[in-house]
Amino acid sequence: MPEAAHAGATDAEPGAASFDDALERATRELVHVSMHAVNRLDTVSSRHLQALQALEDLGGAHVSRLAQALDVQPSTASRLSDRLSEAGLVTREMSPSNRRATLVELTPQGHQVLAAVARVRAEAYRAVSERMDPDDRQALLRGAAAFAAAAHDEDGNLHTGHPEP
């Protein structure tokens, strides 16, 4: 196993600061690997990708709900959805339940972009994880699954320990 793959791979000390530091370092590397892979596609900006992923998670949404999911103002989400619509990645239609609201949904092309992103991320994660010891890979998967489960409450809302504004 390469030496670089073992650097910092020891368990975090029991103290909260060391746990926080270790998790921060790991998430920075994960985000760096992810963004490097996505940037190779050169198809959408990170903000557009964030909106597409939110719409995928929501199964489509009113602009106001998209704004909430992205933590932006509704006018920002509206402009963002306009640009995504112009690119053919989403549709914008009058909501059948509220004629003043706009419903935004992914197009087949939007789904294709998300599939391509998932594919290049998986390739990048695989390339990094192949440098890890098999036991460390399994521990990573268990920890990542537990973290993902703990990140949302029973209603599916993101739980960060801070109240929503």
The 3-class secondary structure across 46-91, one letter per residue, is HHHHHHHHHHHHHCCEEHHHHHHHHCCCHHHHHHHHHHHHHCCCEE
Assigned domain for 11 exists? no
Residue 138 has pLDDT above 50, yes or no: yes
Token pair of 74, please?
Answer: 């509704």
pLDDT by residue (tens digit) across 11-53?
545 566 798 899 999 999 999 999 988 888 888 888 999 999 9
In 10 A of CB 47, how many CB atoms?
A: 13
CATH of the domain at 59: 1.10.10.10
Assigned domain for 80 exists? yes
SS3 for 137?
helix
**When comparing pLDDT for 63 and 41, which is higher?**
63
Assigned domain for 4 exists? no
* Number of domains the chain is built from: 1
Assigned domain for 91 exists? yes
Assigned domain for 96 exists? yes
Assigned domain for 160 exists? no
Instruction: Domain of residue 32: give its range.
Output: 25-147
